[in-house]
């Protein structure tokens, strides 16, 4: 067996949702061993969290952890960053500088400048910088991309993507009970983009991932429905693509009745495909003038889907397996980078720092269009 | 039994889809008897069509028909206008002037001016002017309106409406085989608004019908995907409402794989509702933080839904029954008007010339926003 | 235009559900004109009901109606029988003897002997005897039959059919409010088979219609869940077919939460098909090892489905249109019979007195298997 | 952190599906460490498989493994048995006798006698004997049980359960390529019950788990559709319960188009519930006369569902998480047993050797009813 990679974690202390998710995801395919952590900025809580998670080496700060792990022979190969958003950039910078691969929760950074600097640094240091856009780990999302790439839907004409939740429909951040609500609606910790940054970027990325296209112009609007909230809780946009395609994007955290309704449809000249995150084991494919087909892993012949699964057809997979897929691909890439080999072909769909930069550019364009009440170029490039 | 009302028809000759639909719809609830028609501008085809449809009095022109029927003691009570769009206004004008009630297919007219003139004339003449926005005849659409009115979803925050078809995904109008495609993509017969006028206005109306609200500002774009086509085949818009609500509207006739996918979702502070025209016997209702409920006629206690149905729960109704509902309500209103009585309460959801005027205002605003690349006021008023 | 056929009706007075349905169904395709009726055994109610329904000739009894209509030059061509079950046979006999075609609600008769006698009489008199197994009028049910006949699902292996309702889950017949519940649970009016006769035979027929096969052996059980009820309200059976296929049939009127859930699945060696009456515009088709396809009228190329529809794809049809289809086919056959011509090919799927006889044989076999607690031959024969 | 329990595995060498699944499931909640294995009866393959799985101690035989691990201070706490069925009993017996807890794949054993002996032994030795009826690990299945127990659906009247697959629709065992097909259709390795033992018992267990009831009488039939197959590939049964409830059970591995379609519906006097394994994040709940509700983890308030999940609402879980749940509960029970404490309340839904015995009794009753062509008592108990 290939050696398990040594993983560290920053953030994700007791009660934090996403840290526990990363830990399970890293475990599922057995390619990582979690050996070090700075799970909280409160040293006592950090230690207690590490004990609970069975982590051998607990650090009082991520700065110390980066230094100490870099110095060890058996130091961590990679770090998972699962803190609030404002810490992503400084922490990632420190670990990249320490020569340690980075697996970072999204959004990448607070500003486009920060994000671009991270991308530059990762390239200079030749370290992996994986960004956990989880939904791209689903086998049927990857198969969607494969169908688009293979021309099975023809030329893309219309992109419809949306992400609706209802957990912020009321001012739950005011009571303080919901810790996530508190930091995610605090511009100092979450950034100026609220719903836009938290889930709008997921929707944006999913559309980009499936189609391989970024919009070149948008008209967008941010809105805050809940009085007193400091960030947007709803965002909507029209999209124009280079090839003439059109799109619409909607994200809302006040959509009463919606749990985690991320949905994508892509209409091409030959067919359309539809994916619903809450029902991720299927991908609907409907040809022009034809009957809808419910594609599942077991009913398509796709090496890409097979690479992203671990159970037989008809046995549903879920969010944790999609997340695990990112860790599996990250392991493949880390081994290749450390061995000086090209990235394995089957791992190429792993989302990267560049996906994060694209998301930050989208955020900027939304704010600008919103302010000017008009269409706005998206700076994709370069 | 109340006397069956005498109905005439203009347009709807052999091979025309919508004329046959109107005839069935008028028959289902047995309130009309089709006795006169000018079914085609070609007199021979008019006669043959009338014979086939079992219509006693066939006219060579609608002008003659208006004159002759007005002069008869047993002349028609109402006329159904089912011609291409450019003839709606002149025909409706003639029959209103002849004192005959009008049931008109949508869109109302070629221009807002025409439409406003018709509205004025109908009021002056005190004649019914029903506009057949069919989808408002479904019991569960009417129940949606009832739920919104009753505050069951709280204050409306987000409106999502779309209407996708794929029958114009290729340039089928060029071959001439598809007669509908020919006239519907010809600005001289259909007006300058293609997809926008044909189905965009349906989507717009459905949202307005269910919420009781019209947007006050929009940003929109028209697009023509199929090369050489003279009108738009795709339209998308962002909407702002007076009460702060936001919305998105999409209509496309090139959406590969879509048959007749008119869908509405309305999110309020307390719940959201969702309707899908292709599955019209159910209305999904999902409370904030709660479980989705599949409402059906038989599982809600709604006098409004009962008024709009004719079979027991679990026995699906369809498009023809929704259409019949408009005829049923029109009959109720015609009888009341002729008797000098107030319109019956249960008939009040019948769509009218004013709905048509609102649709024409929307069309104008879309064109203007599209031209100026910016947000645009919608003139809802007066 | 072909002359509208003259139709009479027995039963279906004010408040009766199925009479009104027959009247609408007869009207939709405009092939019948309802001119005579004996709508109630109470002469006053008969007259009032006829007036309300706009029926010209009202009779105080069906006996008188049969005599009088047979004697008229413009007497009715056909009679629709929509009374409680126990009157089907005597009424049908009278009209057949008067040379009048019969369209009869199901079940055919109270006993197999009665049913066989009707079948014999109809043949002797060369009159149409249509039995309104409504669900066979849906275009997608007919397309299911077409797929089976064409070998598209291979050899039939497994048949799964069920019909679940919940309207008799409580003893609603005791309060007397629900008139249908009263007569349908009264063996004197409904026959000894309660749920079995009312909806079990629909399920049985649907399976037979789609597959073209009747079981040769069954093991079945009747059950009455509601205390004091005089007939069964639940029935279940295992089925064996001549070709080795196996099946299961379930019908229940105490299935809490079910509205009118008639569902059929047929598994062959090559594919399976699934139909759900509450969503009748689609037929699911899933090949062995392949992806499920949602077939709709507009997405299959089927002359049979086209013959059974009247609106374009994507415009849903429902129960009334399925019912109308039986009337349309009946009209085609009546015209052919009266003209001494062979039955038109496209009308051949109309359900007949023989379907009713098969249903009565099934009822007998269920009772016998239930009594003996063992497998039982079904007498399909002769 | 509680110490991770030490786990051994017998069976599950390279290429075996279920061994890999057990390993992931044991890992997800981090309560087990896989340290020993006898993964194949071929010693070389056993070693290679252990290396690949990162297992420290590889044994050439399970006999040796039982002896050696029992003798070690740091020997395994529990063994997972994932061999073909005929080895379950001897292996489980050996490990129980060695004082090691057992987690065994289903079916429990080849015969009822074997199964009963195992149940007796486990009790005598006071060791855990968990049987991995995976589907009982889904949060919404457990919530179904909770609803039934709480009387939310009233008294159970009708149980409908089915499990359909199509992977054995053709004689794939003959080619030898499909290793699973070979042993699962070989009576010597799989037992005399083919489809019945493999998936019929899953269906049977799911119904029993959700309702808390076992049938007292059945009439059943086994069938083999594929020529030359040595075991049944289709089974169907009618069920009678002590309380008067009725049921139907179907399992088939030749159901063309079905992937892994395990579905349960339970109708009570107040409501019915429906679960579909291929869409396991929802449970449909429909009250008598009321609207269907789609229950999800996040939209019910259930400590039982929360105990069986690890991600937030709207983030789907799947088969592996359901499986992991059994391992989580097994860990809780092993710790309690080893500490001499009562089993933790929240772990009580873990399936046990007694569930396996019930399954074997069902198998016997099916064979007997099939042979005698009549209703047959099921020996439940005591």
Is D279's CB within 8 Å of A51's CB?
no
pLDDT higher than 70, residue C315: yes
Chain D interface includes B299 (CB < 8 A): yes
Residue ranges in chain B whose pLDDT is less than 70: 1-2, 381-382
Is A296's CB within 8 Å of C299's CB?
no
Nearest partner of D53 among D89, D21, D75, judged by Cα: D21
How do the residues of chain A divide into helix, strand and coil, expressed in percent and rounded to 5? 40, 25, 35
- Chain D residues whose CB is inside 8 A of the C160 CB are 162, 250
- Chain A residues whose CB is inside 8 A of the C291 CB are 285, 293-296, 299-300
**CB nearest to C373's CB, from D170, D221, D374:** D374
Is C158's CB within 8 Å of D234's CB?
yes
Percent of chain C clearing pLDDT 70 (strictly above): 99
Taking only the tens place, the pLDDT of each residue in C53-111 is 999 999 999 999 999 999 999 999 999 999 999 999 999 999 999 999 999 999 899 99
- Position C381 scores a pLDDT of 64
- Pairing type for strands B261-268 and B271-276 reads antiparallel
Residue A368, Cβ density class (10 Å: 0-12 exposed, 13-18 middle, ≥19 buried): middle
Give the neighbours of chain C: at least 3 Cβ pairs within 8 Å. A, B, D
Measure the CA dihedral A62/A64/A67/A69, to 10°: -70
Stretch 139-168 of chain D: residues touching chain A, C-beta under 8 Å: 165
- Position B1 scores a pLDDT of 52
Show the tokens assigned to A10: 């920053």
**CB nearest to B295's CB, from D291, D294, D295:** D291
Is D256's CB within 8 Å of C268's CB?
yes
Q: Name the residue of chain B whose CA is nearest to C320's CA.
A: B317
**Alpha helix (H) ranges present in chain C?**
17-28, 43-53, 62-71, 88-97, 112-125, 139-149, 179-184, 187-190, 195, 201-211, 303-307, 319-338, 353-372
From A53-62, A178-187, A337-346, the region with the lowest mean pLDDT? A178-187
Backbone angles phi, psi at B9, to 5 degrees: -140, 135
At A1, is the pLDDT very low, low, confident or very high (cuts 50, 70, 90)? low
Mean per-residue pLDDT for C310-318?
95
At D381, is the pLDDT very low, low, confident or very high (cuts 50, 70, 90)? low
Q: What is the 3-state secondary structure (H, E, C) of C51-79?
A: HHHCCCEECCCHHHHHHHHHHCCCCCCEE
Taking only the tens place, the pLDDT of each residue in D199-253 is 999 999 999 999 999 999 999 999 999 999 999 999 999 999 999 999 999 999 9
Q: Which of C315, C322, C323 to mutate to test the interface with B (most CBs of B within 10 A)?
A: C315
Query: What is the three-class DSSP state of C361?
Result: helix
Q: Which of B256, B372, B377 to mutate to test the interface with A (most CBs of A within 10 A)?
A: B256
Contact by Cβ (8 Å): B168, A267: no
Chain A interface includes B234 (CB < 8 A): yes
- Position C222 scores a pLDDT of 97
Separation of alpha carbons C111 and D181, rounded Å: 50
Show the tokens assigned to C13: 């007075």
Chain C interface includes A295 (CB < 8 A): yes
Give the neighbours of chain A: at least 3 Cβ pairs within 8 Å. B, C, D
Is B272's CB within 8 Å of A290's CB?
no
Is C271's CB within 8 Å of D257's CB?
yes
DSSP 8-state symbol, C198: I
Taking only the tens place, the pLDDT of each residue in A136-186 is 999 999 999 999 999 999 999 999 999 999 999 999 999 877 888 998 999
- Greatest alpha-carbon span in chain B: 63
Alpha-carbon gap: C338 to the closest alpha carbon of chain B (Å): 21
Give the neighbours of chain D: at least 3 Cβ pairs within 8 Å. A, B, C
- Chain C residues whose CB is inside 8 A of the A283 CB are none
Taking only the tens place, the pLDDT of each residue in D149-195 is 999 999 999 999 999 999 999 999 998 778 889 989 999 998 999 99
Chain A interface includes C300 (CB < 8 A): yes
Is D319's CB within 8 Å of A317's CB?
yes
Chain C interface includes D36 (CB < 8 A): no
Is C248's CB within 8 Å of D250's CB?
yes
User: What domains appear along chain A, each with residue ranges and CATH number?
Assistant: 5-127 (3.40.50.720), 139-307+357-377 (3.30.360.10)
Show the tokens assigned to A147: 């169908």
Mean pLDDT of chain D: 96
- Position D1 scores a pLDDT of 52
Chain C interface includes B320 (CB < 8 A): yes
Is D30's CB within 8 Å of A320's CB?
no
Separation of alpha carbons C99 and C329, rounded Å: 19
Alpha-carbon gap: D271 to the closest alpha carbon of chain C (Å): 5
Name the more confident of A382 and C115: C115
Contact by Cβ (8 Å): C41, C47: no
At D131, is the pLDDT very low, low, confident or very high (cuts 50, 70, 90)? very high
Backbone angles phi, psi at C93, to 5 degrees: -60, -45
Q: What is the 3-state secondary structure (H, E, C) of A347-369?
A: HCCCCEHHHHHHHHHHHHHHHHH
Mean pLDDT of chain A: 96
- Position D382 scores a pLDDT of 47
* Structure-token match 């008969």, residue found: C46
- Position A381 scores a pLDDT of 64
**CB nearest to B256's CB, from A254, A256, A267:** A267
- Position A364 scores a pLDDT of 97
Separation of alpha carbons A373 and A369, rounded Å: 6
Stretch 163-192 of chain D: residues touching chain A, C-beta under 8 Å: 165
Separation of alpha carbons A40 and C316, rounded Å: 58
Question: What residues form DSSP beta bridges with C377?
Answer: C217
Mean per-residue pLDDT for A275-279?
98
Is A289's CB within 8 Å of C300's CB?
no
Mean per-residue pLDDT for C206-215?
98
Stretch 345-374 of chain D: residues touching chain C, C-beta under 8 Å: 373-374
ipTM above 0.90, yes or no: yes
Give how far Cα A6 sits from Cα of A88, A129, A137, C295, D204, Å. Answer: 20, 16, 22, 51, 44
Alpha-carbon gap: A286 to the closest alpha carbon of chain C (Å): 9
Show the tokens assigned to A16: 């934090």
Taking only the tens place, the pLDDT of each residue in A246-267 is 999 999 999 999 999 999 999 9
Separation of alpha carbons B64 and B91, rounded Å: 11
CB pairs under 8 A between A and D: 109
Where on the phi/psi map is residue B200: left (φ > 0), alpha (ψ -120 to 50), or beta?
A: alpha
Mean per-residue pLDDT for C252-264?
98
Contact by Cβ (8 Å): A100, A69: yes
Backbone angles phi, psi at A76, to 5 degrees: -65, 145
- Position A110 scores a pLDDT of 95
Alpha-carbon gap: C135 to the closest alpha carbon of chain D (Å): 23
**Alpha helix (H) ranges present in chain A?**
17-28, 43-53, 62-71, 88-97, 112-125, 139-149, 179-184, 187-190, 195, 201-211, 303-307, 319-338, 353-372
């Amino acid at each position: 067996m290939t050696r398990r990679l040594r993983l560290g974690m920053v953030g994700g202390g007791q009660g934090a949702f996403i840290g526990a998710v990363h830990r399970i995801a890293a475990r599922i395919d057995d390619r990582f061993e979690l050996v070090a952590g700075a799970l909280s900025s409160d040293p006592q809580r950090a230690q207690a969290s590490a004990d609970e998670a069975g982590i051998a080496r607990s650090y009082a700060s991520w700065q110390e952890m980066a230094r100490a792990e870099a110095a060890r022979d058996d130091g961590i190969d990679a770090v998972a960053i699962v803190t609030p958003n404002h810490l992503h950039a400084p922490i990632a910078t420190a670990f990249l500088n320490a020569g340690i691969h980075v697996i970072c929760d999204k959004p990448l950074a607070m500003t486009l400048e920060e994000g671009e600097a991270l991308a530059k640094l990762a390239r200079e240091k030749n370290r992996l910088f994986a960004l956990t856009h989880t939904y791209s780990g689903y086998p049927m999302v990857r198969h969607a991309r494969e169908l688009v790439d293979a021309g099975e839907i023809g030329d893309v004409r219309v992109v419809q993507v949306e992400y609706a939740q209802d957990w912020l429909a009321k001012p739950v951040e005011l009571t303080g009970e919901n810790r996530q609500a508190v930091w995610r609606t605090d511009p100092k910790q979450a950034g100026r983009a609220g719903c836009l940054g938290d889930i709008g970027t997921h929707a944006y990325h999913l559309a980009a991932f499936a189609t391989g296209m970024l919009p070149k112009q948008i008209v967008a609007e941010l809105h805050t429905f809940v009085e007193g909230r400091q960030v947007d809780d709803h965002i909507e946009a029209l999209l124009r693509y280079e090839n003439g395609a059109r799109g619409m994007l909607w994200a809302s955290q006040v959509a009463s009745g919606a749990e985690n309704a991320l949905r994508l449809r892509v209409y091409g000249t030959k067919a359309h495909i539809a994916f619903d995150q809450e029902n991720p084991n299927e991908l609907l494919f409907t040809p022009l003038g034809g009957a809808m087909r419910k594609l599942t892993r077991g009913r398509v012949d796709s090496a890409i889907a097979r690479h992203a699964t671990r159970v037989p057809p008809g046995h549903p997979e879920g969010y944790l397996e999609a997340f695990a897929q990112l860790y599996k691909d990250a392991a493949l890439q880390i081994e290749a980078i450390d061995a000086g080999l090209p990235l394995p072909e089957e791992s190429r769909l792993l989302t990267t720092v560049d996906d994060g930069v694209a998301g930050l550019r989208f955020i900027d364009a939304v704010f600008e269009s919103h302010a000017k009440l008009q269409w706005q170029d998206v700076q994709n490039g370069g």
